[in-house]
Amino acid sequence: EAGVAQSPRYKIIEKRQSVAFWCNPISGHATLYWYQQILGQGPKLLIQFQNNGVVDDSQLPKDRFSAERLKGVDSTLKIQPAKLEDSAVYLCASKPQGENTIYFGEGSWLTVV
Amino acid sequence: SQKIEQNSEALNIQEGKTATLTCNYTNYSPAYLQWYRQDPGRGPVFLLLIRENEKEKRKERLKVTFDTTLKQSLFHITASQPADSATYLCAPSASGGSYIPTFGRGTSLIVHP
């Protein structure tokens, strides 16, 4: 079974530029999460989708971050404009219905300079 | 606010010994608690889940305990090996509604040959 796919794997941008990350969850997983993990910290939830609807985006900095999951499958996370403190790994994860285990992708590493 | 505490200092042990990692939480009552392993540059990988009505859970060389009175979970790796070296994250989660694991910062385990 294919895992959670994320791209790009690495990205370096200058502050005030924009960036987009893509995630393809495990086939059939209705729930999709985006987490931000800053070096030395645990993953912090940014947004949770159930199919194509947002369940929780209370910790998403909506002035600069946006995310969508239009067809209930792939998802995109965008940052515009980026700040230095956005340097982190952006982890996408998905969960099958009826289970409590979530499956993570390898992450997209962002460095803002 | 909800708080999850894991030892920030790395745990160094000799191969063959038992490693014990601690996760303490405050200001909520999780129905589940999960442990994940994270290797450098990789996404977290699920290891074990324990429910609030379970005192102990085992899987091969891994054992997890869950004390809802102490608000604490202990994660044990017996007969540790250098390949067990990684960061271990605990993730308590409340029951009902959307399922949103909240992660601790993780504890780094280093097993010396």
Residues B26-73 pLDDT 10s: 888 888 899 999 999 999 999 999 998 998 999 999 999 999 999 999
Cis peptide before B30 (omega within 30 of 0): no
Q: How many CB atoms lie within 10 A of CB A90?
A: 24
- Decide: B90 and B51 in contact? Cβ < 8 Å: no
Nearest to B104 among A42, A56, A93 (CB): A42
The one-letter amino acid code at A100 reads N
Cis peptide before B101 (omega within 30 of 0): no
A106 at the B interface (CB within 8 A)? yes
Cα angle value A97/A31/B100 (rounded, 5°): 95
DSSP H or E run through A19: strand A19-24
Provide the pLDDT for residue B95.
65
DSSP H or E run through A49: strand A44-50
Of the pLDDT bands very low, low, confident and very high (cuts 50, 70, 90), residue A100 is confident
Of B55, B85, B83, the C-alpha closest to B68 is B55
Place of tokens 């994940």: B36
**B81-87 average pLDDT score:** 97
pLDDT at A31 > cutoff 90 = yes
Q: Give the C-alpha separation, B25 to B48, whole Å.
A: 17
Residues belonging to chain B: 113
Kindly report each contact of residues A46-49 with a partner whose C-beta sits within 8 Å and lies 24 or more positions away, as own/partner: A46/A77, A46/A90, A47/A77, A48/B98, A48/B100, A49/A75
A54 at the B interface (CB within 8 A)? no
Quote the distance between the C-alpha of residue A3 and its chain's center. Answer: 15
Pick among B21, B42, B52, B88 to test the A interface (most A CBs inside 10 A): B42
**B89 contacts in chain A (CB < 8 Å):** 42-43
Average pLDDT of chain A to the nearest whole number: 95
